[in-house]
Amino acid sequence: MTPLHGRGPEQARLDTLLAAASAGSSGTLVLRGDPGIGKTALLSYAAAQARDTHGMTVVQAAGFETEAELPYASLHMLLHPALNRIDALPAPQTAALKQAFGLAREGGGDQLMVGLAVLSLLSELAADGPLLCLVDDAHWLDHSSARALLFAARRLHAEGIALVLAARDGFDAAGLPELRLAGLDDDSARDVLAEHAPGLTPPLRRRVLDESAGNPLALVELPSTVADHSRAFEPLPLPRRIQDAYAARIAELPSQARTWLLVVAAEDDGDLTTVLAASARLGADAGAPDAAERAGLVRIAGGRVSFAHPLMRGAALRAVTFEERLAAHRALAAVLTDRPDRRAWHLAAAATGPDEQAALALEESAARSRERNGHEAAAPALERAAELTADPGRRARRLIAAARAAVDAGLGPRAGSLLDTAARLTDDPRTRARAQALRARTAFDDGDPGTAHELLLAAAGTIAGGNTAQDRAEAGLLLVDAARNAWQLSDAGRLRAAADRLRELGPHPEHGLGPAAAAVYGAAEFLERGPAAALSTMRALVDHGRKSSSSPDLRVNAAFVAGLVGDFEAGREISLAVAAECRSRGEIGWLPLVHLTLTASELYLGKFRDAEASAADGLRIAADTGQPNRAGYLEGMLAWICAVRGEYDRCAELAAHCHDHFDTTGIVNSLAWAEWALALADLGRGRFAEALERLEHAQEGPVRRQIQSVYYAPDRIEAASRLGGHDRSARAALEQITAWAEASGLGWADAVLHRCRALMEQDWPKAHEMFRTAVRLHADTGRPWEAARTHLLFGERLRRERHKTDAQLHLRTALSTFERLRATPWADRARAELRAAGASISPRPGRDPAPPLSPQELRITRLAATGMSNREIAGQLFLSPKTVSYHLYRAFPKLGVTSRAQLAGLSLAD
C-alpha cells in the first residue's frame, strides 16, 4: 500500500504491531485524535498490510452514535465472522455470549464473562493464523461492547492477535498503549492539497493550509468552501467547517436522494433493507442510493450502507428541517417491527412530548438489556422513558430504576443526577427511601462510607414503617449494608446503631437475614468488647457458611468472618468453593471480594505464593469491575507479603496506596494491613524501635479494633524483647494475645502465645520449656511462617544460652522454611545465627539456579497437573488458551520437566 502522507512513524508503529502478531505475540494500540485527523486511513493501512504482507485474517467493527445505547451491538459486528464458533467455547462463556447477542433468552454470568468469551473467541479465530481486529470510532461503542472488548484487550498476550482501536478523546482505554495523531507537517499538508486540489490559487492554498492546521480531512474538504468565501472570515471549530463542506455537497443531490440520505443518517445501523423500506415510506425512489453513492457520500456493499466519513452523518441531519427528522424516525419505527430495541429509540426520537407508548417500549428495551447484563444501555433507556412520562409518580419510579441501572453500570455521578430529579417529583416516603438507598451505594463507591451508613439507616427506618414482612426484610438488608460500612470505618457506635435497629425488626429468616443479622451482632461485640467476646457468635456464622449452598454474599461473609475467628482453613475452603462457583456461573463481579478473603486465608496459612497469585488476580478483576475499596484491601496484603520477602520499595509503594485510600475514604481494613506490613518490614531490617513505634501508634487509632491488632501483637512483643525491654506496650500485647488464645482454643494461637511468653520470660529454664511447648504445638497447626519464626527465636535464645548444637537444629529448620517461603530477610538472619552458632553453612546464593515460578505460572501448572486442558485452565483464570500454553512453556524448564504428564509427579505445594 502506498505510504500515507506524513504518517511514516505511525505506519512504522503499526508495522511493528503486525509483525509481532505474525510471530505469535499479541498487542493493542489505541489511535487517538480529532475528527478527520487520519485515524480511519491508518486503520485501512493496517488492514491492507495485514492481508497483503502478513496473510492475516482481519475483522472490523465501528461504533455508531445511534447504537451507543444498544448493548453489544458493536461487539456483534466485530465477532460476526466467528459466531459459528461460539459453541466451541467453555459452556459458561457460550451461554454468556449467546445471551449478550440475543441468541438465547437464558444465559449466565455478568458483563466480564462476556469479555472472557470475547478473548476466547478471538483466540479461536487466531488458531487459524494471526488475526487483526480493527475498531473505528471506538468513542461511539456501546458501553457493554467497550467494556467486554477492553477486558479482553488487557488480557491479550501470546495469541497472535493485534487489536487497534481508533477513538477521539473521551474514550477510556486506561492501561492500553496509545498513539496520539497530530496534524500533518507543512510539507505533507502541501502534498495532500496538491493531490486533491491542484488548481487552487496561491492565496487560497495558503488559506486552506492555515485553516486546516494539518488536518487531512480538512485539506481534502475545505478547498471548495474557501473558494466560495475568498474573503477573510472568523475561524470556526474544525469539525463544523468540515460539516459545512459536506452540507454543500449534500445540497447538490436530488431531493429524493437527500431524503434517502436522511434515513441513512437517522438509522446508521447500516442495514440497507431497513433504510430502503423506511425511505420508500417518505417517497424516495430506487435511484436515490445511486445518486448518493456517485457523490462519494456513502459506500454500499454487502447489503449495508455507511457514510464515507462519520461527520457526513451530522451534515445530513443538519441539512433538513426538524419535522423532516421526526418523519424519518417515524418511518423507521414503522418498519423495525422485528427489532424492538431500535424501534423503541426511534419512537422516542419521534416524540415531541409525553408519549406512553414510546416510554413503555423503552422500559421494555431496558428490561431486555438488563437480562443481558447491559446495565449501561438500560440506564439511558429508562431515563428517556421517564422524560416521556406524564405522571410524576411514574416518572420518578422510572428515574430511580434508571439510577439503579446506572449504579450497577458503575456510573455513580449519573445516578446521583437522576436521583436528584426523582426526589423533586415524588412525596412518597418509600420511593424516596429507595432513592436514598441508591445514594448510599454511590456514596460508598465515591469513598464516603460514613454518609452511606447514615443514608442506609434513614432509608431502612422509612421502609420498615410499612410493617409487612417484605418491608421488614428489605429494611433488614439495608441495615446489614449499613453495618458493613460501619465495620469498614471501624466505627463501634455506628455499628451498634445498625445492630440495635436490626434487632428491633425481630427474627428474619427471609433473604438469608438470619445469619447476616448474627454477623452484625457479632461484629458489634467485636468492635465494642474485643475479638474474644464475639467468637461464639462469629463461629456459628462460619459453620453455617461452610455447610450452606446459599448466595455468594452470605458465604463470602462467612469466609471473612473465618479470618476473624482464626479458622483460616475454613476461610480458604469457603473462598475456593465460592470462587469456583462464581467462575462457572460467570459472576465475575463477586471475585474481588472472594479473592480478598482467599488471599487473607492463604496468607495466614503461610501459603505466600498462593496468596500473591490470589491477590494479583483479585486486583486485576477489581480494576475491570471498578471496585477500588477491594483493591485497597488487596494491596495491603500484597504489601505484607513484600515485607516478608524483603521487597521494601514495593512494600512502601503499596502501603502508600493504602494510606491514600484511608485518607480519602476512612476505610480502615487496608490501613491495618499497611501499618502491619511496614512494621514487619522494619522487623526484617532489624529496625526494632521503628517497628515498635509504628505498631504502638497503630494501637492509638481505629486499627486497634481490627483483627490485625490481635495478629500483630506477637510482633510488638518481639520488637520490644529485641530492644531489651518488657515495657507497658509488650505487656499490653501479651494480655491481648493471651485473651485471644484462651478464648479461641486454637492450637496455632496457643503456640504463638507460648512463644510470646518465652520472649517475655527472663528465667531461662521457664523460657526453654515455653519454647519447647510452642514448637510442639506448631507441629500440628500447619502455619509454617509462624512455626519458622518460633524456631528462629528459640534457636537465637539457645545460642545466647550457649546451647549451640541444639540451636543449630532449630535454626536450620527455620532457614529451610524461610527459604521455601522466599522470606529473604528472615532467612538471612537464620543463616547469620547459624554461623554464630558455629555451623558450617553456605553463603546466601547470589541468584537461584532456576528462577522460581511466577504466581501465574504456579497457578497454571497446578491446574495442568490435575489434568485440566489449556482451554479449561484459561476459563478458570480469565486468560486465553494460548497464554496458558505460553506460561507452561516458560514453567517447564524451571521445573525440570518436558511434558504435562510429568507435572503429576511434582510437589507444587506452596
Q: Residue 81: which pLDDT band, with cuts at 50, 70 and 90? A: confident
Residue of 584 and 40 predicted with greater confidence:
40
pLDDT reported for residue 246: 83
Whether residue 653 is predicted with pLDDT greater than 90 in this model: the reply is yes
Mean pLDDT score, 266-292:
90
Q: Are 726 and 732 in contact (CB under 8 A)?
A: no
Mean pLDDT score, 305-317:
84
Q: Which three cell numbers stand for residue 781?
A: 497447626
pLDDT reported for residue 217: 85
Q: Residue 849: which pLDDT band, with cuts at 50, 70 and 90? A: very low
Residues with Cβ within 8 Å of 202's Cβ and at least 6 positions away in sequence, in order, are: none
* Parallel/antiparallel/unpaired status of strands 304-307 and 27-32: unpaired
Q: Residue 712: which pLDDT band, with cuts at 50, 70 and 90? A: very high
Q: Residue 859: which pLDDT band, with cuts at 50, 70 and 90? A: confident
106 DSSP 8-state letter = -
Mean pLDDT score, 621-638:
88
pLDDT reported for residue 238: 61
Over pLDDT 70: what percentage of the chain? Answer: 94
pLDDT reported for residue 107: 57
Encoded amino acid at 644, one letter: V
Q: Residue 845: which pLDDT band, with cuts at 50, 70 and 90? A: low
Mean pLDDT score, 368-381:
80
> Exposed, middle or buried, 843 (CB in 10 Å: 0-12/13-18/19+)?
exposed
Mean pLDDT score, 313-337:
91
Q: Is 79 helix (H, G, I), strand (E, B) or coil?
A: helix
Q: How far is CA 631 from CA 563, 645, 670, in A?
A: 18, 21, 9
Whether residue 30 is predicted with pLDDT greater than 90 in this model: the reply is yes
pLDDT reported for residue 848: 47
Distance CA 757, CA 724 (A): 15
Q: Residue 226: which pLDDT band, with cuts at 50, 70 and 90? A: low
- Per-residue pLDDT tens for 157-196? 989 999 999 999 889 888 899 999 999 998 998 998 888 8
- Per-residue pLDDT tens for 442-455? 888 778 889 999 99
Residues with Cβ within 8 Å of 865's Cβ and at least 6 positions away in sequence, in order, are: 900, 903, 904, 906, 908
- Per-residue pLDDT tens for 666-676? 899 899 999 99
Whether residue 512 is predicted with pLDDT greater than 60 in this model: the reply is no
- Per-residue pLDDT tens for 327-366? 999 999 999 999 998 899 999 999 999 999 999 999 999 8
Comparing 367-376, 730-739, 811-820, which segment has the lowest mean pLDDT? 367-376
Average pLDDT of every residue of the chain: 87
Residue of 627 and 802 predicted with greater confidence:
802
Across 747-761, 861-875, 883-897, the highest mean pLDDT is recorded for 747-761
Distance CA 429, CA 769 (A): 67
pLDDT reported for residue 211: 78
Residue 73: Cβ within 10 Å count:
24
Distance CA 842, CA 822 (A): 17
Bridge partners of 134, per DSSP, are 60, 164
Distance CA 383, CA 362 (A): 9
Residue 888: Cβ within 10 Å count:
20
pLDDT reported for residue 544: 79
Mean pLDDT score, 371-375:
72
Distance CA 796, CA 76 (A): 66
Residue 754 has φ and ψ, to the nearest 5°, of -65, -35
